[in-house]
Amino acid sequence: MAEVNWYNFVWFALAIPKHSFILWLVFRDALITKEKMYTWGYTRPTLCLFCFACQENRDHIFFRCSFSRHVWRNVIVECLIFDPPLDWEAIDSWSNVHLKGRSLHATICRLCFGATIYHLWRHRNDLLHGNTPCSDELLGQQVKWEVRSRLIARCSAKKIVNSILLVRK
């Protein structure tokens, strides 16, 4: 079996399993987007449920959509990362350089990345099934709350976690 570069980015000690699973599907381009359903004979509109401006595919949902970009900006600022690549082609090599190791910063960034992907996909599915939309700010707050909760539950250095990131409102 071929080794992939993103393995340690997806599967790590503090990873939230449901986030890792969705992230694994995303890296493999295995999520069932409207673009894929169209190739299978799906006849309904294939526009993005966040912006209704472009065709829904993996790259658009997670990085190119204006709604997703706002969520990313909200979350990335908390991670103290400036100008990260926001496309699948570059994220793999970028993460291997900047987010490797077990430092608290790398762990927070990996958790934030997985949580953002997971919550974007979950919100997209909520919209697909007729649930009420939420704002990009609320989605960003949900991501930060979940990451902070995971760190507090699993880390012994709670004071560090509380003082570093994700405490701002």
> Could you state, in order of their start, the residue ranges of all structural domains in the chain?
7-164
pLDDT digits (tens, 9 = 90+) for 32-56: 999 888 888 887 888 999 999 999 9
Question: What pLDDT does residue 108 have?
Answer: 86
Q: Say if residue 117's pLDDT is above 60.
A: yes
Question: What pLDDT does residue 5 have?
Answer: 73
Question: What pLDDT does residue 169 have?
Answer: 45
Q: Say if residue 152's pLDDT is above 70.
A: yes
Q: Say if residue 95's pLDDT is above 80.
A: no
For the chain, the average pLDDT equals 84
Dig out the tokens for 78 from the structure: 């908390």
Dig out the tokens for 48 from the structure: 């993005």
Q: Say if residue 24's pLDDT is above 60.
A: yes
Question: What pLDDT does residue 166 have?
Answer: 47
Mean pLDDT, rounded, for 59-81:
87
Question: What pLDDT does residue 131 have?
Answer: 86
- Tell me if 117 sits within 8 A of 62, measured CB to CB: yes
Q: Say if residue 159's pLDDT is above 60.
A: no
Please state, for a pLDDT cut of 70, what percent of the chain lies above it: 86
> In 126-148, which positions are buried (b, 16+ CB within 10 angstroms) versus exposed (e)?
eeeeeeeeeebeebbbbbbebbb
Question: What pLDDT does residue 1 have?
Answer: 55
CA–CA distance, 119 with 89 (Å, rounded to integer): 21
Q: What is the largest CA-CA distance in the chain?
A: 53
Number of Cβ atoms within 10 Å of the Cβ of 22: 21
Q: Say if residue 153's pLDDT is above 90.
A: no
